[in-house]
A and B are shown apart, each in its own frame.
Chain A
Amino acid sequence: MNPQKLPQSSFWNDTGKTGITSWIFSTDHKRIGLLYFYSVLGFFLIAVCLGLLLRIELMAPGRTIMGPQTYNALFTVHGVIMVFLFIIPGFPGAFGNLIMPIQIGARDVAFPRLNLFSWWLYMLGAVIIITALFTGSGPPDTGWTFYVPFSTRTGTNVSLAVFGVFIIGFSSILTGLNFVTTIHRLRAEGMTWTRLPLFVWSLYATAWVQILATPILGITLALVIAERMLGTGLFDAARGGDPIMYQHLFWIYSHPAVYIMILPAMGVISEIIPVFSRKPVFGYKMIAFSSVAIAAAGSLVWGHHMFTSGMSDTAVLVFSFLTFVVAIPSAIKVFNWVSTLYKGSISLEAPMLFALSFLLLFSIGGLTGLILGAAATDIHVHDTQFVVGHFHYVIFGGSGFAFFGAMHYWLPKFYGRRYKEKPALIAWSMMFVGFNITYFCMMVLGMKGMPRRYYDYLPEFAPLNLASTLGSWLLALGLILLLVNLFRGLLRGEPFSGNPWGGATLEWSVATPPPTENFEEEPVVTHGPYDFKSTGIP
């Protein structure tokens, strides 16, 4: 970025510091947000390459480009990076930091130094994970779930990788603490709880999950390390331990963690849809409340990952029932978004296209989730490619597409320049079509009985696997076009100033790009976040 070319003084240059240290030691939430953004984006792209390699291996039966051990390592690393380095820190770290303080009318988060420390912890964890790939006796091959007893016995470098994830957990907890405190304490005058933008509500619910659930991941991973180094026997049935206990502990965190991935994405959608339909969001209170309800109820359904583990039938019944309960607040959101669209004056620009495809893809992901949540059908599709298709629909088609939507919606605000609409449209269509080919085929394969986490398969699965791999190439090409168009635009595109989308939340009332202190004078909020009449734009 060339600061001289910016329209005016902003957080890029108004402190007079522009070197690398002014970034990596900055306590400005916007700079930290961008640090997070580029870090998570970098890891995302690495993991996408690994995903494509996995798909190439599965293009034809038998060995295509790698053997079984490499395949095991690659899906593990792909999963670990996507989950722990991309999608969990992605929304709170990048867009939460960039947007949330401005949206509530604050100058910064409550603990700016802690915020910087969180980013450093994240990077430290990331470096440790990457180190684990190239040292010791090979990259971990357990799958991102690190299930015992395999994870305590495999000779690969599991301990170091698990330690990296452990550190990243702390980063996540600190961000959560910071956000809860910020949202409670730093709201501007007049920013009542019912005037909070829905993105802030979703971050608030997410932050509580980060605080309450992440420590359990920490303990669980510490126990895996203890098991490997000290042989504590906690998960070893032969010594009075309980291997299923590991799965409980792991999913007590990791299921709520999927809500860390999806809730802020839903928040983004709740911002984009009203703005691009030029209509106040339908059922504000219900959307806000359902975020909290999803966070609460979603914390109690972890057992649905364990229906075939040998867990008691009573537990299967309870967890299956609760899983269906979570579908209610999720559906409330979807219906509210659709009602917001109804009779709106819809403009189909890139952020909206991603938001609309979120609706479809998330719904497919959510409904296939019910097939998995019903104990009887789960037994048929457990650990098949159906599961892989299902969760890519939710975390990639859902959260991932919301992330791209957020990039198009908010990044121009911070660069003062915008991308071109037409290439964005083409990129979106390629990704949307490619995505569905890739993962729909995987779901069908799963239904037919192709297991997940295998580098080879029966010849009868060949045609759909080929189609899926070709789909992944279209998806990847779309992604490249999206990134090239977006970043070219941000650096050299048309100027973006004022309030081109016509949003009514506070970030659209500050200068573009915002100054370091965000607001010239302390804002006083007099209207709700979706009161478009207040913007004066017809």
Chain B
Amino acid sequence: MNDTNHHIISYTKLTSVWLTLLALTGLTIWVSGLDLGVNRVWGALAIASLKSGLVIAFFMHMKYEDKLLRWLLFVALLTLAIFIGFTFFDVLYR
């Protein structure tokens, strides 16, 4: 990594991201109690994506990295999304 553009994130920012993550965890638990049928999965996945998005952007520093790295990470996430997506051909139509 290049030292000159090594971005340092302030503690306040890190703490607020952490608190947001905790809040979202609370939300996950609350949502799991609601009776949403199939949408339950989408709800849980949406919150989980938001949470991992925050972790990736701030804790993993992706918000401050160059395009290539972000792109590579995007490929990995897209692959995972496709893998999970394809299992729904089974789960949703059983």
Listed in ascending order, the chain A residues whose CB lies under 8 Å from chain B are 211-212, 216, 244-245, 248, 252, 299-300, 303, 310-315, 318-319
- In-complex Cβ contact of B90 among A211, A216, A299, A311 (8 A): A311
Q: Are A252 and B89 in contact (CB under 8 A)?
A: no
Q: Are B76 and A244 in contact (CB under 8 A)?
A: no
The interface centre, meaning the residue of B82, B83, B92, B94 with most chain A CB atoms within 10 A of its CB, is B83
> What chain A residues lie within 8 Å of B79 (beta carbons)?
212, 299
Closest to B79 in A: A212
Complex alpha-carbon distance, A300 and B94, angstroms: 19
Closest to A208 in B: B75
Flag B65-94 by CB within 8 Å of A: 1 or 0 each. Answer: 000000000011001001100110111111
Complex alpha-carbon distance, A245 and B94, angstroms: 13
Shortest B86–chain A CB gap in Å is 6
Q: Known contacts A211-B76, A212-B76, A248-B87; is A315 also within 8 Å of B82 by CB?
A: no
Q: Are B89 and A300 in contact (CB under 8 A)?
A: no
> What chain A residues lie within 8 Å of B87 (beta carbons)?
245, 248
Shortest A514–chain B CB gap in Å is 31
Q: Are B86 and A300 in contact (CB under 8 A)?
A: yes
Closest to A302 in B: B86
- In-complex Cβ contact of A314 among B76, B82, B83, B89 (8 A): B89
Q: Known contacts A211-B76, A212-B79, A299-B79; is A244 also within 8 Å of B86 by CB?
A: no
Complex alpha-carbon distance, A1 and B71, angstroms: 47
Q: Known contacts A211-B76, A312-B94; is A216 also within 8 Å of B83 by CB?
A: yes
Shortest B81–chain A CB gap in Å is 12
Q: Are B76 and A318 in contact (CB under 8 A)?
A: no
Shortest A492–chain B CB gap in Å is 48
Q: Are B83 and A312 in contact (CB under 8 A)?
A: no
Q: Known contacts A211-B76, A212-B76; is A318 also within 8 Å of B89 by CB?
A: yes
Dominant SS among interface residues on chain A: helix
Flag B37-79 by CB within 8 Å of A: 1 or 0 each. Answer: 0000000000000000000000000000000000000011001
Q: Are B83 and A244 in contact (CB under 8 A)?
A: no
Closest to A244 in B: B90
Complex alpha-carbon distance, A216 and B87, angstroms: 14
Dominant SS among interface residues on chain B: helix
- In-complex Cβ contact of A252 among B75, B83, B92, B94 (8 A): B83
Complex alpha-carbon distance, A310 and B76, angstroms: 29
7 contacts between A and B (CB under 8 A): A244-B90, A248-B90, A299-B79, A299-B83, A303-B89, A311-B90, A312-B94
Shortest A318–chain B CB gap in Å is 5
- In-complex Cβ contact of B82 among A245, A300, A318 (8 A): A300
Q: Known contacts A216-B83, A252-B83, A300-B82; is A312 also within 8 Å of B76 by CB?
A: no
Closest to A252 in B: B83
Q: Are A303 and B83 in contact (CB under 8 A)?
A: no
Q: Are A315 and B76 in contact (CB under 8 A)?
A: no
> What chain B residues lie within 8 Å of A300 (beta carbons)?
82, 86
> What chain B residues lie within 8 Å of A211 (beta carbons)?
76
> What chain A residues lie within 8 Å of B83 (beta carbons)?
216, 252, 299
Complex alpha-carbon distance, A315 and B86, angstroms: 8
- In-complex Cβ contact of B93 among A216, A252, A313 (8 A): A313
Complex alpha-carbon distance, A303 and B89, angstroms: 10
> What chain A residues lie within 8 Å of B94 (beta carbons)?
310-312
Closest to A306 in B: B90
Shortest B89–chain A CB gap in Å is 4
Closest to B86 in A: A300
Q: Are B86 and A312 in contact (CB under 8 A)?
A: no
> What chain A residues lie within 8 Å of B89 (beta carbons)?
303, 312, 314-315, 318-319
